[in-house]
Amino acid sequence: MTTLTEAPLRRLIDRLFEEADANSPFSNPAFAAVTAEEHTRLMRSKTEYRDFYGQLKDYPLAVSRETGALLYMLARSSGARNIVEFGTSFGISTLHLAAALRDNGGGRLITTEFEPSKVARARENLAAGGVLDLVEIREGDALQTLGVDLPESIDLLLLDGAKALYPEILDRVESRLRPGAFIIADNADHSPDYLARVRKPDGGYLSVPFADDVELSMRIG
């Protein structure tokens, strides 16, 4: 048994995934009416992301169940002690990462979210899962919150916030990534600049697409 598969975390995660499946933003007529071209433009905008994601404040925007399991396995198997997450939302991915830290014997997970209502929901979920003591939630724009007071060595980085900002967030964290550190970028197809960077042969990373919506990279430089 692991923290991830034991009560209370297992039941909590199952419930949160069920709620996320039932509460997709695309079930809202206002979002369902957005054309594919406009959706792509908004996802890739470096100037409209706060307004766009602010309109999604009531939606979990969760990773998939498979990605959640992948996060736990990567953090657990690498013995991660210091993790950074961009995009907390309701804390589903945060719960998986914090569970790995618990099973690794402890550590620190820094996660950031600019929407106050989501910060409150995530904090409640992390407390209910019994892992809040491992997590520091930084409220505000990640371009500022992840620009200061990071661990000297970071074992794993999860990118799951505004896709257009993936290169800028990597800029702030890259110097702290230890050799062998994993970077998991959800929906990275919406950030072509990021993909070009981590896939560049001499860019300091090994990188492969994983499943339909994740780019998995390892720091080698």
- pLDDT, tens digit, for every residue of 50-67? 787 777 788 888 999 999
On whether the CB atoms of residues 219 and 177 are closer than 8 A, the answer is: yes
What pLDDT, on the 0 to 100 scale, is given for residue 59? 84
- pLDDT, tens digit, for every residue of 107-116? 999 999 999 9
Average pLDDT estimate for 77-85: 98
Provide Rg for the chain, Cα atoms. Answer: 16
What pLDDT, on the 0 to 100 scale, is given for residue 31? 67
Is residue 27 scored above 70 in pLDDT? no
Give the E-state strand segments of the chain in sequence order: 82-86, 108-113, 135-139, 154-159, 177-186, 205-210, 214-219
Helix (H, G, I), strand (E, B), or coil: what is residue 60? coil
What pLDDT, on the 0 to 100 scale, is given for residue 57? 84
Is residue 78 scored above 70 in pLDDT? yes
- pLDDT, tens digit, for every residue of 161-178? 999 999 999 999 999 999
Residue of 188 and 213 predicted with greater confidence: 188
* Residues 219, 187, 157, 161, CA torsion sign: positive
Is residue 94 scored above 80 in pLDDT? yes
Report the chain's mean pLDDT, rounded to a whole number: 92
On whether the CB atoms of residues 195 and 163 are closer than 8 A, the answer is: no
Residues facing 217 on adjacent strands: 183, 207
Average pLDDT estimate for 10-24: 94
What pLDDT, on the 0 to 100 scale, is given for residue 13? 97
What pLDDT, on the 0 to 100 scale, is given for residue 2? 92
